[in-house]
Amino acid sequence: MESLIIIVFVLGYLAITLEHTIKLDKLIPALFMMAVLWALVSFGIDNFPNWFDSGAHKLIDGFSDFSGEEKHHLLEETLLHHLGKTAEILFFLLGAMTIVEIIDYFDGFSTFKNYIKTKSKKKLLWIFAILAFILSAIIDNLTATIVLITILQKIIKDRNTRLWFAGLIIIAANAGGAWSPIGDVTTTMLWIAGKVSAPMLIKFLIIPSLVCMVVPTLIASFLEPFKGEIEIEEKDDSPVNQYGEKMLYIGLGSIIFVPFFKTITHLPPYVGMMLSLSVVGIFAELYSRTEFSISHVVDQEGDDSQGHHSPVHSSLAKIEMPSVLFFFGILMAVAALESLGILFLGAESLKTIIPNTDIVVMLLGIGSAVVDNVPLVAASMGMFQEPMDHPLWHFVAFSAGTGGSMLIIGSAAGVVAMGMEKIDFFWYFKKIAWLAAVGFIAGSITFIGLRSIL
């Protein structure tokens, strides 16, 4: 049964990567794969020898001796556990994406656009890469990618040029997210689990992460797509929204507030994001001169014919729900493999075959591009027993955070960029993956070199 489960996952993964070839939206095989995998787990649970406790990050002792009823009860609890963890991520993302759309509703990103005066593609590349590196550490790599690609779409008309910029934004955003405890979901996992502390994470990873961003950007600046100047859009004579700049600062400030809320309340990040969304929504409704009734929106003159102009409603309507469902399908499908201990046992076998932990961790980083960094980091937390702030944990954070850049679906930033710009899997693999790989290797070598000094 384990072999059949792996085959289904591989076939589903191939269907996702061949989305444009088979003309099937990627969310369909993702959801189908997820449902079939859990169905197979349910059918074969009486014969499985292992079960992985995601909360304790270890295999459950004596699982094979459990009764059928106990195993099915454990299956239901595990499914609810993964659904809850996945929902936390999805609601966090929905909140962040909605805030970004509200800012865009008021044309708030034109504030950034107005600061970018250069026409040089090379200078623009460095501006976007640096912004991605910094923003991702503050508001997480996914949200930073959404913000910057939104700005990118307003500045660059040519789609092919935008794709190249988007590819380098993904690399820079993932590199920036690796050195911050709130910059990437995997670093947050390690931080919450007490494997790393924020000051030591920054101390060990800020330079390797910077190298991981600078090296690919430097190489790309000499490539043909970044030579010359961009074609400037015709001047937009439409009036500037008077609340755009205010909504930009309110929106970004509300996102930055989330980690502080988490630190104070010890509640999951999505709770703080929902609070931030509600605050941004209040200002948005006030600035658009509308107010809520119980069931619909009316303006201050009492005419509800313009109810659809509510910024919150309009922003929610623009959310990329296919991307959210795709993310749900992928996370829950990988959770099925994790629950059977397949990922954990595979990582343990890798550790036995290759005793050098640096190589193992780098392979985990490469694996995060192929599968998903979340379960691989969970597996690494069960593999290694080193104390808090051991350099190993910082290397795991770096590898898992930046390794996903090597494939477009290897990171949340890549997935959302894929949705926003309709980036083809194989285009990214041919054009961008090697740059990401060079950055990953350069950053890893830098980390290993600095480890003996720090």
Structure tokens at 23: 């003309």
- Residue 413 gets which letter from DSSP? H
The 3-state secondary structure of 305-330, one letter per residue: HHHHHCHHHHHHHCCCHHHHHHHHHH
Contact in structure between 98 and 277 (CB atoms under 8 Å): yes
Buried b (16+ CB within 10 A) or exposed e, 378-417: bbbbbbbeeeebebbbbbbbbbbbbbbbbbbbbbbbbbbb
Q: Which of 188, 202, 288, 304 is nearest to 242 (CA)?
A: 288
Burial of 120 (0-12, 13-18, 19+ CB in 10 A): middle
Full-model pTM: 0.74
pLDDT of residue 196: 86
Instruction: Output the pLDDT for position 240.
Output: 63
Query: CA 447: distance to chain centroid?
Result: 23
Give the phi and the psi of residue 48 in degrees, each rounded to 5.
Answer: -80, 135
**Token digits for 171?**
């690399």
Name the pLDDT band for 306 (thresholds 50, 70, 90): very low
Amino acid at 197: S
Q: How many other CB atoms sit within 10 Å of the CB of residue 105?
A: 22
Terminal C-alpha separation, the chain: 47
pLDDT band at 309 (very low <50, low <70, confident <90, very high): low
Better-scored residue on pLDDT, 80 or 88: 80
Which DSSP state fits 390? -
Task: State how far Cα 263 lies from the chain centre.
Answer: 21
Q: Summarize pLDDT for 110-143 with one digit per residue, the tens.
A: 777 777 777 788 999 999 999 999 988 877 788 7
